């Protein structure tokens, strides 16, 4: 149990909290600011990296992920230095995956070569929609043409390029989504993230929704139809889902995200970054200060971390269940039971099998197609008992 | 002790919101009964729920010292009475303890149904009545019209009505003078044997039961040994006093005075309201005519959402009952809800007040089952039993017929809304008894079955008349009708807590409304759920709640694990407010909301 994290691997997450504009649907820790002192930020991130690395020596590093915010606003030198320092602290795996999230704008495209030279080997682009009107509604600054141009630059620089789309948008019909997804699949190389629009509290969309002013959102039935259609089309084009919202050619799954879903260890640096680290057999959940200024001040004073909670065996098991059931490959029952120190409850297993939501082989719980659509309810069945 | 000629005892009759409590506050303030520092809005409404809902539930009393313009010092005793129809019995007994009433009418609104009901009780009690027209500071005030209406509808002289703004204080002094000069002094004989009326009683955790008394004859002193004439019990009086409105002890209470006594009495049930209190030795010969005790008319089940809280609920109910003799309870077991209590109330407001107090003061989440009236079930062998709970309905083969309670309802409404009110009464199986006009307001009197009124009639009435109608009722008789028990099945399992008695002719409509409502109230599950209404084995309405199609978090990465866990924990808590029936979770609100009808 002490080395359980090895089953999921080990990764580094770097959070860059700045954006050129705040998107109305986004509830990530992102901020818009006039000027960024790149040198100060670089030094602060490196200092945090040194701090967390000292607590997790002798690890094999499977992945680095630059997320945000908009990490493609980072100077390539900053990215390169962080990668270099990480590879000094830990041994990089032979197949290490180093991903950077990028906005599909022309400015970013100009930096792609620099990121590649610094060690980035995969980009994930926030294309979001293939329709200019909807891009504006989503508050995006780029156009479809710019996104496609940036995408072409990216695929010239990197072997692995993924992009995100948001669907189940306002006033989107099933037929429109079919067409748009078809175009996306024509572009796709080996990986696609397809998210249904979620209205989060504390966002501009959230406020508008609460005021009853966000019209044209699909009802449950339409969004369920869209989800089903998405699975069908992606499967047919060789990009089957491997996680609720993620699709890849076999072997091209995001290694970094698999660390999360398989309950591996990850250190998180940067404002608001979370981590899960196993130290001397105990697993901790860590959180960093969210506000960029306060985080910098914290780092200057020795640490950007604000919270470190030890997780009990059952909590670890429940996290593994919550995350693991999102994967098509399913949940390893004996791993759950080792962590929890108790058997996976029989009653929800039986009920969910009867309802056709899961397949239970005894050693594995594999969520079925209709189970993925109501995964929160499936997970609740396990957690409630 | 104050001479009889310088005592005035009075109550205030008013409709809700016509400013009774504010007027009482002003009288207290004007006479410096309470220092400004201690003054809070609605002094006499001591429970949070009373203040929140702007209603008075228990009768409250206050003694006011007033030096009139003629230079004489008077003692004014005000008994503030509840305005709501559920608590009409409190009003009637309080009226017997005083000689006069202020009739407060909102000069922007006019006379309302509850004003009528209460003023007739005052007239029955031979009160002298001083009309007060309140809210004259508002632009919509129309004193002449309202005075005329008082004369037309109630039939008392309103020419000398005092014009008051309890809000600004205009007319308060005149009101005090009118109390002194227009209301009669009480009568009584100081030398006669003690004869005191037990007006009310309540439980105080420090002092035990506090008994509110009105002395008719004789003198009550601390240390006296007194006898309750009805049950013969004897008590040693350990404290007597008056309310200003805080409890203040005095040495004695003489004829005409209103005050309290404590005598180490443990339970409110040991003191019978309306009883006569006299001395153990040399007592009075004849008791005062008593009051009829209030009978619960609405019954429902109260169950803890978390069955582990049953003992806490028992404790809460027992404590509340200590202070409220009109509320009855007995243990009940429901196949679906487990252990709980079948409780009887004076009306729906009473029910809501008790339920709110249990949830708030004792922090217990409750499931309240469908309120029901008391039916008389006549068996084939001629025997009659009372049915308090539809789940206890005996096998039909043994039943000869059923009778249900009927009421006489009085509704006052501006004639613009008359049509809607008539339709509402008609829809509720009402029989029109009378329809008269006073100005542009209509007064309709209906004979209605109580079971059609008990649940949401008042809400519906308020909504179809935009709040302009007022309503009061009294029970009249039991009458035979074609009544049946309707059961509700969720996912093919009967939910006994949702079963109800309905009129056969209305069963289909009621059943359809119920299953449609439940379809909205029960959250979607991972499977489809049939919801049916049935009479005996015959299904009369059916809906299907389709299966949940989509409920999945789109994005879940490193930072989301913590967040998602919190979300699921919240959901888990939400589930605690649900009850499981077979495979289906039913939220607790469903039990009461399902019964509210939209038309």
pLDDT reported for residue B317: 92
Which residues in chain B touch residue A307, judged by CB atoms under 8 angstroms apart?
A: none
Higher per-residue confidence, B294 vs A122: A122
User: Which residues of B belong to the annotated binding site for GTP?
Assistant: 17-22, 134-137
Residues 510 to 529 of B: which have CB under 8 A from any A CB? 525-527
Question: Are A250 and A375 in a shared domain?
Answer: no
Residue of B nearest to A14 (CA): B558
Residue A282 forms beta bridges with which residues? A279
Question: Are A240 and A325 in a shared domain?
Answer: no
Q: Cβ atoms within 10 A of the Cβ of B315, count?
A: 13
Query: Is B526's CB within 8 Å of A323's CB?
Result: no
* DSSP string for residues in A86-126: HHHHSEEEEEEEEEEEE--SHHHHTTHHHHHHHT--EEEEE
Q: For residue A245, give both structure tokens.
A: 């919202």
Summarised one tens digit per residue, pLDDT across range B226-240 is 999 988 899 999 999
* CB nearest to B555's CB, from A245, A266, A274: A245
Question: Are A123 and A200 in a shared domain?
Answer: yes
In a domain, A276, yes or no: no
Which residues in chain B touch residue A223, judged by CB atoms under 8 angstroms apart?
A: 550
In a domain, A120, yes or no: yes
Summarised one tens digit per residue, pLDDT across range A309-334 is 999 999 999 999 999 999 999 999 99
Cα separation, A253 vs B560, whole angstroms? 19
Looking at A225, A260, A295, the residue that finishes a domain is A260
Which residues in chain B touch residue A269, judged by CB atoms under 8 angstroms apart?
A: none
* Backbone dihedral angles phi then psi of residue A161, each to the nearest 5 degrees: -130, 125
Of A92-96, A192-196, B307-311, the range with the lowest mean pLDDT is: B307-311
Query: Is A198's CB within 8 Å of B555's CB?
Result: yes
For residue A377, give the CATH number of its domain.
Answer: 1.10.10.920
In a domain, A98, yes or no: yes
In a domain, A68, yes or no: yes
Query: Is B571's CB within 8 Å of A374's CB?
Result: no
Residue range(s) defining the domain that contains residue A142:
4-260
B378 within 8 A of B400, measured Cβ to Cβ: yes
Question: Are A255 and A341 in a shared domain?
Answer: no
Q: What does DSSP say about strands A282-288 and A305-310: parallel, antiparallel, or unpaired?
A: antiparallel
Question: Are A88 and A173 in a shared domain?
Answer: yes
- Rg of chain B over CA atoms, in angstroms? 27
Query: Is B553's CB within 8 Å of A375's CB?
Result: yes
pLDDT reported for residue B87: 66
Helices (H), B323-417: 348-361
Q: For residue A62, give both structure tokens.
A: 């499977």
Query: Is A268's CB within 8 Å of B559's CB?
Result: yes
Which residues in chain A touch residue B551, judged by CB atoms under 8 angstroms apart?
A: 373-377
In a domain, A296, yes or no: no
CA A232 to chain centre: 23
Question: Are A216 and A83 in a shared domain?
Answer: yes
Q: What does DSSP say about strands A60-68 and A160-167: parallel, antiparallel, or unpaired?
A: unpaired
**Does residue A51 have a cis bond before it (omega within 30 degrees)?**
no
Tokens 């037929």 locate to A175
Residue of A nearest to B557 (CA): A260
Say if residue B67's pLDDT is above 60: yes
User: How many domains are there within chain A?
Assistant: 2
Residues in A lying within 8 Å of B, measured between beta carbons: 13, 195-198, 220-221, 223-224, 227, 244-245, 257, 260-261, 266, 268, 272-276, 285, 287, 318-319, 322-323, 326, 351, 355, 357, 372-380, 383-384
Give the SS3 label for residue B356: helix
Say if residue B57's pLDDT is above 50: no
Give the SS3 label for residue B485: strand
Summarised one tens digit per residue, pLDDT across range B394-413 is 988 899 999 999 999 989 88
Banded pLDDT at A173 (limits 50, 70, 90): very high
For residue A237, give the CATH number of its domain.
Answer: 3.20.20.70
Cα separation, B58 vs B89, whole angstroms? 11
Question: Are A320 and A200 in a shared domain?
Answer: no
Q: For residue B415, give both structure tokens.
A: 């004639």
Give the SS3 label for residue B52: helix
Q: What is the DSSP letter of B63?
A: E
Residue of A nearest to B574 (CA): A384
Cα separation, B598 vs B341, whole angstroms? 29
Query: Is A260's CB within 8 Å of B561's CB?
Result: yes
Question: Are A250 and A318 in a shared domain?
Answer: no
**A161: closest CA of chain B, how far (Å):** 19
* CB nearest to B554's CB, from A195, A276, A322: A195
B165 burial (CB, 10 Å; 0-12 / 13-18 / 19+) is buried
Cα separation, A221 vs A219, whole angstroms? 5
Helices (H), B154-208: 172-182
> What are the angstrom distances between the C-alpha of B447 and each of B119, B470, B472?
21, 16, 12
Q: For residue A55, give both structure tokens.
A: 């607590």
Length of chain A: 385
Query: Where do the DSSP E strands lie in B147-297?
Result: 162-163, 195-204, 208-217, 220-221, 225-228, 234-236, 239-243, 247-249, 252-253, 258-262, 276-279
**Among B491, B551, B552, B577, which would you mutate to test the A interface (most chain A Cβ atoms within 10 Å of its Cβ)?**
B552
User: Which residues of B belong to the annotated binding site?
Assistant: 17-22, 134-137
pTM value surpassing 0.80 = no
* ipTM tops the 0.85 cut: yes
Cα separation, B154 vs B142, whole angstroms? 18
Looking at A219, A234, A260, the residue that finishes a domain is A260
Looking at A218, A235, A260, the residue that finishes a domain is A260
Cα separation, A61 vs A79, whole angstroms? 16
> What are the angstrom distances between the C-alpha of B493 and each of A341, B80, B588, B591?
37, 50, 17, 15
Say if residue A292's pLDDT is above 60: yes
**Does residue B245 have a cis bond before it (omega within 30 degrees)?**
yes
pLDDT reported for residue B181: 95
Long-range contacts of A299-304 (CB under 8 A, 24+ apart): A299/A44, A299/A47, A299/A48, A300/A44, A302/A51, A303/A48, A303/A51, A304/A44, A304/A48, A304/A269, A304/A270, A304/A271
Question: Are A106 and A203 in a shared domain?
Answer: yes
Question: Are A322 and A253 in a shared domain?
Answer: no
Question: Are A59 and A148 in a shared domain?
Answer: yes
Return the closest-CA partner of residue B132 out of B105, B111, B113. B105
Banded pLDDT at B54 (limits 50, 70, 90): very low
Q: For residue B354, give both structure tokens.
A: 């008790």
Q: Torsion angle of alpha carbons B17, B23, B25, B28, nearest 10°?
A: -160
B490 within 8 A of B335, measured Cβ to Cβ: no
Q: Torsion angle of alpha carbons B252, B255, B257, B261, nearest 10°?
A: 50
Question: Are A232 and A335 in a shared domain?
Answer: no
In a domain, A97, yes or no: yes
In a domain, A379, yes or no: yes
Summarised one tens digit per residue, pLDDT across range B539-577 is 999 999 999 999 999 998 888 888 887 877 777 777 666
Q: Which helix (H) or strand (E) covers residue B567, if one does?
A: helix B560-576
In a domain, A213, yes or no: yes
Residues 565 to 594 of B: which have CB under 8 A from any A CB? 565, 568, 571-572, 575, 583
Tokens 């008609």 locate to B426
> Rounded mean pLDDT of chain B?
86
């Amino acid at each position: 149990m002490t080395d359980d994290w090895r089953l999921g691997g080990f990764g580094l997450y770097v959070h860059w909290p700045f954006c050129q504009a705040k998107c109305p649907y986004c509830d990530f820790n992102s901020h818009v600011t006039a000027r960024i002192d790149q040198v100060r930020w670089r030094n602060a991130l490196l200092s945090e990296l040194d701090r967390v690395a000292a607590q997790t020596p002798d690890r094999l590093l499977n992945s680095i992920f630059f997320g945000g915010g908009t990490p493609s606003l980072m100077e390539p030198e900053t990215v390169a230095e962080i990668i270099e320092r990480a590879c000094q602290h830990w041994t990089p795996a032979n197949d290490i995956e180093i991903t950077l999230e990028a906005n599909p704008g022309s400015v970013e495209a100009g930096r792609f070569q620099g990121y590649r030279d610094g060690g980035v080997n995969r980009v994930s682009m926030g294309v979001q929609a293939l329709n200019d009107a909807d891009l504006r509604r989503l508050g995006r600054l780029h156009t479809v043409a710019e996104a496609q141009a940036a995408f072409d630059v990216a695929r010239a620089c990197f072997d692995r390029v993924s992009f995100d789309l948001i669907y189940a948008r306002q006033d989107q019909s099933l037929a429109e989504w079919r067409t748009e997804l078809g175009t996306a699949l024509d572009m796709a190389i080996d990986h696609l993230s397809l998210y249904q629009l979620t209205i989060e509290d504390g966002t501009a969309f959230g406020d508008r929704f609460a005021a009853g002013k966000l019209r044209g959102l699909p009802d449950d039935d339409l969004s369920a139809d869209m989800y089903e259609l998405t699975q069908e089309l992606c499967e047919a084009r060789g990009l089957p889902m491997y996680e609720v919202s993620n699709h890849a050619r076999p072997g091209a799954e995001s290694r970094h995200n698999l660390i999360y879903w398989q309950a591996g260890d990850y250190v998180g640096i940067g404002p608001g970054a979370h981590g899960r680290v196993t130290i001397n057999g105990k697993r901790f959940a860590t959180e960093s200060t969210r506000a960029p200024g306060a985080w910098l001040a914290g780092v200057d004073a020795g640490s950007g971390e604000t919270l470190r909670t030890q997780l009990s065996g059952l909590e670890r098991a429940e996290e593994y269940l919550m995350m693991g059931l999102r994967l098509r490959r399913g949940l390893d029952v004996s791993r759950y039971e080792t962590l929890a120190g108790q058997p996976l409850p029989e009653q929800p297993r039986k009920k969910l099998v009867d309802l056709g939501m899961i397949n239970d082989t005894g050693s594995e719980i594999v969520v079925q197609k209709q189970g993925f659509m109501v995964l929160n309810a499936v997970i609740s069945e396990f957690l409630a008992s | 002790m104050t001479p009889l000629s310088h005592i005035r005892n009075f109550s205030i009759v008013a409709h809700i919101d016509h400013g009774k409590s504010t007027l009482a506050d002003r009288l207290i303030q004007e006479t410096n009964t309470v220092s400004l520092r201690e003054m809070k809005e609605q002094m006499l409404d001591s429970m949070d729920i009373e203040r929140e809902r702007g209603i008075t539930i228990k009768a409250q009393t206050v003694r006011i010292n007033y030096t009139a313009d003629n230079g004489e010092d008077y003692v004014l005793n005000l008994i503030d009475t509840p305005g709501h129809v559920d608590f009409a019995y409190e009003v009637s007994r309080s009226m017997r303890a005083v000689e006069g009433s202020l009739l407060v009418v909102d000069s922007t609104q006019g006379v309302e149904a509850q004003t009528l009901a209460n003023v007739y009780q005052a007239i029955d009690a031979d009160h002298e009545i001083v009309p007060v027209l309140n809210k004259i500071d508002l632009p919509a005030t129309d004193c002449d019209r309202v005075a005329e209406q008082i004369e037309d509808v109630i039939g008392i002289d309103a020419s000398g009505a005092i014009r008051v703004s309890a809000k600004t204080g205009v007319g308060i002094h005149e009101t005090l003078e009118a109390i002194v000069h227009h209301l009669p002094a009480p009568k009584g004989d100081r030398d006669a044997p003690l004869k005191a009326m037990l007006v009310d009683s309540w439980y105080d955790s420090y002092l035990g039961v506090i008994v509110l008394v009105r002395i008719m004859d004789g003198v009550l002193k601390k240390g006296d040994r007194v006898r309750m004439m009805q049950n013969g019990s004897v008590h040693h009086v350990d404290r007597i006093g008056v309310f200003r409105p805080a409890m203040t002890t005095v040495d004695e209470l003489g004829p005409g005075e209103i005050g309290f006594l404590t005598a180490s009495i443990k339970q409110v049930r040991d003191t019978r309201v309306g009883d006569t209190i006299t001395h153990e030795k040399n007592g009075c010969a004849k008791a005062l005519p008593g009051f009829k005790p209030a009978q619960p008319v609405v019954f429902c089940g109260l169950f803890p959402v978390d069955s582990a809280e049953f003992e806490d609920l028992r404790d809460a109910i027992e404590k509340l009952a200590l202070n409220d003799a009109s509320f009855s309870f007995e243990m009940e077991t429901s196949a679906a809800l487990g252990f709980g209590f079948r409780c009887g109330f004076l009306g729906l407001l009473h029910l809501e007040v008790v339920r709110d107090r249990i949830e708030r003061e004792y922090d217990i989440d409750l499931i309240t089952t469908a309120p029901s009236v008391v039916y008389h079930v006549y068996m084939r062998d001629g025997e009659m039993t009372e049915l308090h709970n539809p789940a206890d309905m005996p096998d039909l083969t043994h039943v000869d017929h059923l009778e249900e309670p009927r009421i006489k309802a009085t509704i006052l409404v501006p004639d613009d809304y008359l049509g809607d009110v008539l339709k509402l009464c008609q829809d509720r199986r009402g029989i029109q008894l009378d329809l008269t006009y006073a100005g542009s307001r209509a007064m309709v009197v209906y004979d209605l079955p109580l079971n059609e009124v008990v649940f949401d009639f008042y809400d519906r009435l308020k909504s179809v008349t935009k709040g302009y109608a007022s309503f009061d009722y009294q029970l009249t008789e039991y009458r035979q009708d074609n009544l049946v028990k309707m059961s509700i099945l969720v996912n093919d399992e009967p939910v006994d807590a949702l079963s109800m008695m309905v009129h056969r002719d209305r069963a289909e409509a009621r059943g359809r409304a119920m299953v449609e409502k439940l379809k909205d109230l029960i959250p979607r599950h991972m499977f489809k759920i049939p919801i049916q209404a049935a009479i005996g084995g015959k299904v009369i309405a059916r809906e299907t709640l389709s299966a949940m199609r989509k409920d999945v978090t789109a994005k879940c990465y490193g930072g989301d694990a913590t967040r998602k866990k919190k979300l699921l924990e919240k959901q888990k808590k939400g589930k605690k407010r649900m009850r499981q029936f077979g495979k289906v979770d039913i939220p607790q609100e469903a039990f009461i909301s399902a019964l509210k009808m939209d038309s």
